[in-house]
Chains A and B, each alone.
Chain A
Amino acid sequence: GENVEQHPSTLSVQEGDSAVIKCTYSDSASNYFPWYKQELGKRPQLIIDIRSNVGEKKDQRIAVTLNKTAKHFSLHITETQPEDSAVYFCAASYRSDNNDMRFGAGTRLTVKP
């Protein structure tokens, strides 16, 4: 089955700096890669996703890149703000209906004001 690894487990940046979180996956059939943000005690929220037919996707300050050959994808947050502080999870799914997703272990991002 799919195995998703995520690094780093914790990340601390200064407000205004960029943050990058990386994930690798094992199943080359995976074709859907979402990123979730989870604040303490709350539900994971989908913040951006990318499909295997696209190499990069951007939404304001966040972007995701995908390298299918190397089987890794990354989340980039620019101009970080304190409210970006949360745990971020990557995931991978090989089903077109996005089912059967496997999650990475999570990255705790802290943005210092």
Chain B
Amino acid sequence: GAVVSQHPSWVICKSGTSVKIECRSLDFQATTMFWYRQFPKQSLMLMATSNEGSKATYEQGVEKDKFLINHASLTLSTLTVTSAHPEDSSFYICSASRSSGQYFGPGTRLTVT
């Protein structure tokens, strides 16, 4: 149990375009999901907390209008990187919370050219 999927696993896009990343909890319902960003050889940096049916809570320094989060159902949260730039290239990982802990998706590697 506690399987979290993420799609796509990797994506390459051109500067200025938008990219949507999906995070799904496959075998449980998650009222709360989290989006992290991880640079090479670095830790997981929390970007935002996604709450089902309400607005996401963003960490300090994370631009709300650039990283749009939608948590429309108990099993799906999406992160849209708008007007992507090369500095947005990173590994984005979501996680879903349940009473037994937080479970991570496999991550999405975004490369902006």
Contacts and interface: CB of A to CB of B under 8 A. Distances in A.
Contacts of A101: 46, 102
A44 B97 contact: no
Main secondary structure of the interface of A (DSSP, over half): loop
Nearest to B105: A43
- State which size class the interface on B falls in: 10 to 19
Interface residues of A, number: 21
Contact of A89 (B44, B49, B99): B44
A98 B106 contact: no
Contacts of A105: 42-43
Given A34-B102, A44-B104, A89 B97 contact: no
A49 B104 CA distance: 15
B49 A46 contact: no
Contacts of B102: 34, 46, 98-99, 101
Interface string B12-35: 000000000000000000001010
A7 to B, nearest CB: 13
A94 interface: no
Given A89-B44, A100-B49, A103-B43, A43 B101 contact: no
Interface in A62-96: 89
A49 B101 contact: yes
Contacts of B32: 97, 99
A77 B102 CA distance: 22
B103 interface: yes
23 contacts: A41-B107, A42-B107, A43-B106, A44-B104, A46-B102, A46-B103, A89-B44, A97-B97, A97-B99, A98-B97, A98-B102, A99-B49, A99-B97, A101-B46, A101-B102, A102-B46, A103-B43, A103-B44, A103-B46, A105-B42, A106-B42, A106-B43, A108-B41
Interface of A: 34, 36, 41-46, 49, 89, 97-106, 108
